[in-house]
Amino acid sequence: MTISLLYALVGVVLLGIGLYSLVIYSHLVKKILALNVAGSGVFLFLVATAAQTTGPVPDPVPHAMVLTGIVVAVSATALALALACRIHQVTGTARLTENEPE
Amino acid sequence: MSLNEILQPVTLPAWIVSLPLLAAVFSFVLPRIRVWAGIFTAIITPLMVVFLGREILAHGAIQMQVGGWEAPLGIYLHADGISAAMLGITAVIIGSISFYARSYFSGDVASRYFWPLWMFLWGALNALFLSGDIFNLYVTLELLGLSAVALVALSQTVDALSAAMRYLLVSLTGSLSYLMGVALLYAANGTLSIKLLATAGPASPSIATAFALMAAGLIMKTALFPMHFWLPPAHANAPAPVSAVLSALVVKASFYILMRLWLVIFEPFINPSTAQLIGVLGACAIIWGSVQALVAERLKLLVAYSTVAQIGYLFLVFPLSSIPQTNHTAWQGGFYFVLSHACAKSAAFLAAGTVIYSFGHDRIKDLHGIVRRMPVSMFAFALAGVSLIGLPPSGGFIAKWLYLNAALTGGQWWWCVLIILGSLLATAYVFRFFSRAFSYSPEEIERRPVPWAMEWTALGLALCALILGFIAPAVTTLLDAGNPF
């Protein structure tokens, strides 16, 4: 087993853990953390694909994608945390209540 | 680079993306000019889209390497007939709703944040429709999702905040799933360009997994049944201009990506039963959404559930296009649905928003006699209803006609039954509201006066849905330009 395959597999496992936690936890901060773990899994997988070149230099494209992905993830996390804070302020709880539309 | 080079038609895609983004930055940094930055963009962008459309009709698809950087590290923009049609409908809808929003938000603190986010949303949509590679599509999807979520939260009510949060979680999960698909496709084929992926190698487990992940992510974001749970609260609780654009354009953006990927990259790998399964989900969406619209107690919720139903129609394109001889008619029908539903639904949401603006509520049972009080808005709602039901002459009718054609030619008669049943259900929920709206009520209800721009914008968009029924040959020619599929 090559090191890049190991990275790729760990990435997939992290994605799985993240998605699982996203579903089972109801606290918003835990949900946001879960999304970040899942995102890191995808990024790790992408980094592992950079090893797929013939030469000694790794493929730069996946790195560019991961860098962009991190920027997106940071902004998404910021928005999610801001919303979670606001929900906590207004409702007194950091959980989504099961309010079905009328 | 001389000025002459910058103003070549080939740079139009870059301008169409950057103008709204610039307007967003300016309206945030200089809040005093925010409304005018928005209105300026709302006038200029449609003109640029018209030029782009003419260019594509005359010379075929336009490609552009932004800044001269080559793909894969540079950004590759690709504009064909479908991009032009989607950019056009976006320009018509966001452009006209900008005028509605100017009145709707006048004197409201939310206006401070509305305009920058509104322009970001427009920039994201334009970039999405012009992206030629699957990773840029991911970035634009995220930009779109983030600005849409923030716009929903502008209502500030508890319901709106929860709806925004739920929408954000779904949207991020969907994008992650899509991104994992991008990673797999890149690992398998070593390219991100949609065009190169189309000719890429034989079927393999990683392509199948990539398809499953991307389709699942995009279906979540498009709110196809049973992933529609987040849509009605988000669309019903957002401010009216935002609801209109969310239903009209934002859910269509992820559908547009799915359709491109499906028809260009994955078509040879998909077996017909997968397409039929997606069609069955669409059928469930039509029936479930219509029934919920039929029992909805609030007008905006009725319109939001109608969106769930109409999204079901969009997905019928996959089973209908799975037969080679009906492929062309089916995808044209699919895009006709996207265009006509966009006009009709934005008109319906704007009319419903005007009702709330004026009466302070949208409880259907208390809206008796409203036709007499706001005839223009209700006329707009009625015209939108005509297109949603699919009565001639309207865009909705042409779309359903193309679908029925594809279904009968391809021997898939069961979809005809569904389309007719869906139209009957749509008739029922539209007329249920109008039986209330037309009823006689003697007492005068206190109401806030409505600026004329709000009422007439809704009517203008509803008329667009109707006009789409008359200009079908022109629209289908545009969709074909530049050989999209």
Question: Chain B interface, mutation test: which of A21, A71, A79, most B Cβ atoms within 10 Å?
Answer: A79
B44-61 confidence digits (pLDDT tens): 999 999 999 999 999 888
Contacts of B145 in chain A (CB under 8 A): 76
Q: Which residues of A touch B238 (CB under 8 A)?
A: none
For A52, which DSSP code?
A: -
CA separation for the pair B444, B50 (Å, rounded): 46
Instruction: Report chain B residues whose CB lies below 8 A from the CB of A38.
Output: 173, 176
Residues from chain A contacting residue B72 (CB–CB below 8 Å): 61
For an interface test with B, the pick among A61, A89, A91, A97 (most B C-beta atoms closer than 10 Å) comes out as: A61
pLDDT at site B2: 64
Question: Which residues of B, range 69-98, sit inside 8 Å of A by Cβ?
Answer: 72-73
User: Which residues on chain B are in Cβ contact (under 8 Å) with A68?
Assistant: 135, 139
CA distance A3 to chain B (A): 16
ipTM value, please give it.
0.95
Residue A70 near residue B140, CB atoms below 8 Å: no
Partner residue opposite A42 with nearest CB, options B73, B164, B180: B180
CA distance B181 to B138: 10
B165 chain-A contacts, CB cut-off 8 A = 28, 80, 83-84, 87, 96
Cβ–Cβ gap A87/B162 under 8 Å: yes
- Inter-chain contact A76–B146, Cβ cutoff 8 Å? yes
Q: For residue A98, what pLDDT band results from cuts at 50, 70 and 90?
A: low
Question: Does residue B12 lie in a domain region?
Answer: no
Q: For the segment B130-140, what is each residue's pLDDT rounded down to a tens digit?
A: 998 999 999 99
Tell me the per-residue pLDDT of B91-121, one tens digit each, with 9 for 90 and over.
999 999 999 999 999 878 888 999 999 999 9
Query: pLDDT of B270-322, one tens digit each?
Result: 888 999 999 999 999 999 999 999 999 999 999 999 999 999 999 999 999 99
Nearest CB to B142; choose among A22, A76, A91: A76
Identify the band that residue A97 occupies on the pLDDT scale cut at 50, 70 and 90.
Answer: confident
> Model confidence at A1, in pLDDT bands (50, 70, 90)?
low
First vs last C-alpha separation in chain A: 55
Report the chain A residue with the minimal C-alpha distance to residue B231: A101
Q: Is B183 close to A80, i.e. CB distance below 8 A?
A: no
Taking the Cβ of residue B421 and every Cβ of chain A, the question of whether any pair is shorter than 8 Å is answered with no
Name the residue of chain B whose CA is nearest to A97's CA. B162
User: Residue B422: is its pLDDT beyond 80?
Assistant: yes
How far apart CA A34 and CA A14 sit, in angstroms, is 10
Considering only CB atoms, which chain B residues are within 8 Å of A52?
Answer: 187, 190
Report the b/e string of B442-475 with b at 16+ CB within 10 A: eeeeeeeebbebbbbbbbbbbbbbbebbeebeeb
Residue B88 lies in a domain: no
Dump pLDDT digits (tens) for A18-75.
999 999 999 999 999 999 999 999 999 999 998 877 778 888 889 999 999 999 999 9
**Any chain A CB within 8 A of the CB of B56?**
no
Across the interface, whether the CB atoms of A76 and B172 are under 8 A apart is answered: yes
Please provide residue B65's backbone torsions phi and psi, each rounded to the nearest 5 degrees. Answer: -95, 115
State whether residue A16 sits within 8 Å of chain B by CB.
no
Residues B14/B123, Cβ–Cβ less than 8 Å: no
Q: What angle do CA B196, B263, B470 make, to 5 degrees?
A: 125
How crowded is residue B315: how many other Cβ atoms within 10 Å of its Cβ? 27
Q: Is residue B460 part of a domain?
A: yes
B66 pLDDT exceeds 60? yes
Confidence of residue A101 (pLDDT cuts 50, 70, 90): very low
> pLDDT value at position B191?
87
Residues of A in contact with B230 (CB under 8 A): none
B447 occurs within a structural domain: yes
Confidence of residue A94 (pLDDT cuts 50, 70, 90): confident
pLDDT at res. B204: 84
> Which residues in chain B have their CB less than 8 angstroms from residue A76's CB?
142, 145-146, 168, 172
Q: Which of B53, B157, B45, B76 is nearest to B110 (CA)?
A: B157
Interface test with A, best of B144, B169, B308 (most A CBs within 10 A): B169
Regarding predicted confidence, which is higher, B201 or B94?
B94
| B452 within some domain | yes
User: What are the structure tokens assigned to B367, written together?
Assistant: 């809206």
Q: Do B169 and A31 touch (CB under 8 A)?
A: yes
The conformation of residue B73, written as its DSSP 8-state character, comes to T
Q: How does residue A100 score in pLDDT terms, banded at 50, 70 and 90?
A: very low
Average pLDDT value for residue range B342-350 = 96
For B275-291, letters b (16+ CB in 10 Å) and e give beebbbbbbebbbbbbe
How many domains does one find in chain B? 1
Q: Select from 1.10.3720.10, 3.40.50.2300, 3.60.110.10, 1.10.287.3510 the CATH code of A3-91.
A: 1.10.287.3510
Which of the four pLDDT bands, split at 50, 70 and 90, describes residue A102?
very low
Q: What's the mean per-residue pLDDT of chain B?
A: 92
Test mutation, B121, B135, B175, B176, chain A, max A CBs within 10 A: B176
Q: Which of B153, B182, B192 sits opposite A83 (nearest CB)?
A: B153
Q: Does A14 touch chain B (CB under 8 A)?
A: no
- 78-97 of A, contacting B, C-beta below 8 A: 79-80, 83-84, 86-87, 90-91, 96-97
Per-residue pLDDT tens digits for A75-92:
999 999 999 999 999 998
Q: What is the residue type of B287?
A: I
Q: Give backbone dihedrals phi and psi of B344, rounded to 5 degrees, phi first.
A: -65, -45
Beta-bridge partner residues of B193: B133
Assess if residue B392 is contained within a domain. yes
Rg (CA), chain B: 21
Let me know: does B458 contact B380? Beta carbons within 8 Å. yes
pTM, full prediction: 0.94
Domains of chain A, by residue range, sit at 3-91
Domain holding B395, by residue range, is 280-485
Partner B contacted by A26 (CB < 8 A): no
pLDDT value at B419 more than 90? yes
Question: Are A56 and A40 in contact, with CB atoms under 8 Å apart?
Answer: no
Is residue B333 one of the residues assigned to a domain?
yes
